Chains A and B, each alone.
Chain A
Amino acid sequence: MNEQAERVATTSEQQFRIKVDSFWVRRLRDWFVFRYLVRIIWMWMTVGRRIRNAHQEAKRSGTIFYIDDLMGGGDV
């Protein structure tokens, strides 16, 4: 679990952290981040809506909403 492996850039570094002094490289990064944010907003509006509705319905009916059913889960 704790072996010191070779350094791997994190997701956050890959997506957001640009150290190059180039206007266009930074704008391209902004475009990718923008696209990523549009995607998660879309997810909130679609997948999120299904989750919120299923959760509310479970509350109303006194049943249990299994989060695995919508999103997968448990150990992978």
Chain B
Amino acid sequence: MKPNAPPAEYAFAYKNKPTSGNEINGLGVAEKFRPVPPFHNSGRGAGREEIPWAALDTFFIMSGPWTVFWENVRGLWERRNAAGPVTRDPIEITDPQAMADQVKAKAREIGIQIIGITLYDDDSQYRENAFPYKYAIMVGTVMRRDAMVTAPHTPAAKEVMRGYRVGSEHANQLAAYIRTLGWQAEGYGIGEDLVQHPMAIQSGIGTLGKHGSLINREHGSNFRISSVLTDLPLMLDQPLDFGAEDFCVSCKKCVTECPPGAIFDTKQMVRGDKKWYVDFDKCIYYFSDHMGCSICIEVCPWSEPGHGPRLSEKMLKRRAANASAGAAMR
């Protein structure tokens, strides 16, 4: 366990425990179905009472220190800028690749460090909340490493909330730029009704790690996701295989450092797919007691600045060597 991490002992509990988050998430279920939010979510029109673990979510939000809460409030205020009017007739797009390059250049100008483009996927939504868009631009906001190493304490929690807020600002600025081209676009940040991970993987900005968060080739898990949904025709990026998957198979760092022991060491069947999975019911109490925790993303070797590209090179070389050894054996 991480040396400065408090043990997984809690002075709070539910009298009447909600339905297991693992059951809601479809752990062990071979049938495919759309995800349902057990915890964070702004809720549908009907409101937060639909979220099974809403009381713990409220405890999480209300029990943290003011500095963390204030970042959350600033992020909510930023949401005003998520949508807006389209101010002109749409420009004609003849070359989606050139348009994608132009949008990415604008993203860099805004300060966005990680970006990928994919199709908006009907499965990337909770239940019946369809969004009327064709493309998703996935944005990654890199967090400050000096703050993240303090996880699970306040500076890391504040940095995570800052990452979400800045991610929202970046997505909203990029959406506003697209609207000036005459195409509808909206920014999406934390706690909204969009399931961002699957699209982020498809857009090539990362792969799913053993700890249930994305791993980016350069920045590891040290980033937050936001997105822009739009109809602007863009050339799509492809999922990127840079060796993180192979690495997670043999690495146990997040598994051993997780105080409540919530991270499975092997892939689990979840809603019809075998994938890395974190035990919701074990994770969520520690997560709520320690302002979002973040230990697993902090200790991930890919999150160490400068390590990612080297690890990627090493893993891909090893895979190629194994493949040629296998071919020679045959």
Chain A contacts to B: CB under 8 angstroms: 1-12, 14-21, 26, 29-30, 33, 36-37, 40-41, 43-44, 47-48, 51-52, 55, 58-59, 62-69, 71-76
Contact = CB atoms under 8 A, between A and B. Distances in A.
Given A73-B14, A75-B18, A51 B69 contact: no
B187 to A, nearest CB: 10
Contacts of A9: 45
Interface of B: 10-19, 33-34, 36, 42-45, 47-50, 52, 54-56, 58-59, 61-63, 66, 69, 73, 76-77, 79-80, 82-87, 127-130, 132, 184, 186, 191-193
Contact of A20 (B63, B85, B87): B85
Given A4-B128, A16-B79, A48-B62, A11 B12 contact: no
Contact of A7 (B18, B42, B87, B130): B130
Contact of B55 (A3, A48, A71): A71
B11 A65 contact: yes
A72 B87 contact: no
A3 B128 contact: yes
A5 B130 CA distance: 9
B55 A73 contact: yes
Contacts, number: 146
B14 A37 contact: no
Nearest to B125: A10
A62 B10 CA distance: 10
A68 B14 CA distance: 6
16 contacts: A7-B130, A9-B45, A10-B43, A11-B48, A20-B85, A26-B80, A33-B77, A37-B77, A41-B73, A44-B62, A64-B10, A66-B15, A71-B55, A74-B14, A74-B15, A75-B52
B19 A75 contact: yes
Given A65-B12, A68-B55, A74 B17 contact: yes
Contacts of A74: 14-18, 55
A15 B77 CA distance: 11
A26 to B, nearest CB: 8
Contacts of A8: 44-45, 128-129
Given A4-B128, A48-B69, A58-B12, 19 more contacts: A1-B36, A1-B127, A3-B128, A8-B129, A11-B42, A16-B79, A19-B83, A29-B80, A33-B76, A48-B63, A55-B63, A64-B11, A65-B12, A67-B56, A67-B59, A71-B54, A73-B54, A73-B55, A75-B16
